[in-house]
Amino acid sequence: MDFIKQPWPWYIAGPLIGLVVPLLLLAGNKAFGISSSLRHICAICIPANIPFFKYDWKKETWNLFFVAGIIGGGYIAAHFLNGQHPVNINPDTAALLKKQGVKDFSGLLPQDIFSFKTLFTLKGIVFIVAGGFLVGFGTRYAGGCTSGHAIMGISTLQWPSLIATCCFMIGGFLMTWFILPYLLQL
């Protein structure tokens, strides 16, 4: 049982995630991606006459069950299978973040930045609210999220997904090395 309660190495978790792609393709030519589920939820809940939400969302209900499974699995893992193992962060990364003012690595996310205590501060508004908006906008602009493009799109040899994934990586590197140090000083 302890094997399930500890973090899995990349060489086990990565192939398991990768096996989702052929399983979904075999299960009815389904595309893996999480961001499209928000569109399905909006199409179900918003009765407005918006063309973007006018499609047959009932054919995509499997995706909502998939997302519900992810949420349920995350809840089970966090509450029942949590072995209280600390998040394994590279010591150089931890030292660099500590120099920039991030000191609490007790959870999955640094509590100095991502907590209800910091939500209503300038730092919280920038990281949580503005960051969430930019992720949502970027997901819509790119036509999908990182999981959809990087896992499903590249594995099915889609050129736009390769370009989007390269842009995600470049944006992540620019954010990490050039923008994040300034935002942490807020």
Residue 103, SS3 per DSSP:
coil
Residue 149 has phi, psi (to 5 degrees) of -75, -50
Residues in Cβ contact with 103 at an 8 Å cutoff, skipping those fewer than 6 apart: 112
DSSP conformational letter for 174 = H
Token readout for 109 is 């996310």
CB 161 within 8 A of CB 153: yes
Q: What is the largest CA-CA distance in the chain?
A: 52
Amino acid at position 99, single letter? K
| Per-residue model confidence as pLDDT tens for the chain (186 residues) | 677 777 778 899 889 888 988 898 898 888 877 888 888 888 888 877 888 888 888 888 888 998 899 899 989 888 888 767 667 788 898 898 899 888 888 777 888 888 888 888 898 889 888 988 988 888 888 888 888 888 888 888 999 999 999 999 999 999 999 998 888 888
pLDDT, residue 174, reads 95
Residue 62 neighbours by CB distance under 10 Å = 13
DSSP secondary structure code for residue 53 in this structure? G
Tokens 């150089």 sit at which residue?
A: 92
Structure confidence at residue 1 (pLDDT): 66
Q: How far is 35 from 21, CA to CA, in rounded Å? A: 16
Structure tokens at 64: 């909502």
Question: Look-up: residue for tokens 């120099």?
Answer: 99
Query: What's residue 71's pLDDT?
Result: 92
Asked if 18 contacts 155 with a C-beta cutoff of 8 angstroms, the reply is yes
User: What's the pLDDT at 143?
Assistant: 84
Query: What is the model's pLDDT at position 36?
Result: 83
Query: How many alpha carbons lie under 13 Å from residue 12 in its C-beta half-sphere?
Result: 6
Q: CA-to-CA distance for 102 and 84, rounded, in angstroms?
A: 21
